[in-house]
Structure 1
């Protein structure tokens, strides 16, 4: 497809898949702290879960030996980045990059979820 002919292909949603060591703990974090809703889960015990809030969607996959990489695994746009940053601070989340206005037109920061997954959060300036 590098020739520019996409044959009329249209892409639908794409969601971040976050590996987690304890899927119930991760669900509790994303639902209780960040306000997501569990819309699907699969397995017995549960090994996969879909969480949604507004237009955001996250997929959690149980990976008991997960070791988080030292880079951002997802980027999330929000309507009030200052309020979201304050929420992260209130809940004692590790902040990797502090809230700042970036030269690429976003006010942004990076935090880690309880499994060490780094998420970049931004709002247009």
Structure 2
């Protein structure tokens, strides 16, 4: 239950920040697999990039010595998890958890990007 002092507090954009060892390679993967477009980049060489597609936003930060976490670092809702799963496979992304219909109302899977960042992907489905 939210406290009364936060009833007037409004939140804006929040985006996942993914550390990557090769920012251009990561951009190409997220562009080819999901259709993200670069809307901002900063640095020379580029060390930070903002990607957008529809309502989704993803931030990439260059971290040459990045060591991937062993847990999911972001969750992405999609309109078609089956197609997304196939696109991840077609682009050689490592599947951590295969596509399944979950009892909490999502068709979901987990993939790892080229830097090992684990992304949980889900599509809302009707409960059985």
**Where on the TM-score scale, by shorter chain, does this alignment land: which range?**
over 0.9
> How do 1:109-124 and structure 2 match up within 5 A?
109-124=109-124
Q: Secondary structure at the match of 2:84?
A: helix
Distance 1:25 1:88 in 2: 15
What is the TM-score when the length of structure 2 is the normalising length? 0.93
Q: State the secondary structure of the residue aligned to 2:67.
A: coil
Alignment of 1:12-27 (within 5 A): 12-27=12-27
1:45 aligned partner = 45
The residue matched to 1:17 in structure 2 has which SS? strand
- Say how many residue pairs are matched: 124
Structure 2 CA distance, aligned partners of 1:55 and 1:3? 29
Residue 6 of structure 2 aligns to a residue in which SS?
A: coil
Counterpart in the other structure of 2:87: 87
Give me the CA root mean square deviation: 1.2
Once superposed, which parts of structure 1, at least 4 consecutive aligned residues long, lie more than 2 Å away? none
- Partner residue of 1:98? 98
Any gaps of 5 or more consecutive residues in structure 1? none
Q: Supply the distance in 1 between the matched residues of 2:4 and 2:94 (Cα, whole angstroms).
A: 42
Unaligned runs of 5+ in 2: none
Could you tell me how far 1:7 is from its partner in structure 2? 5.7
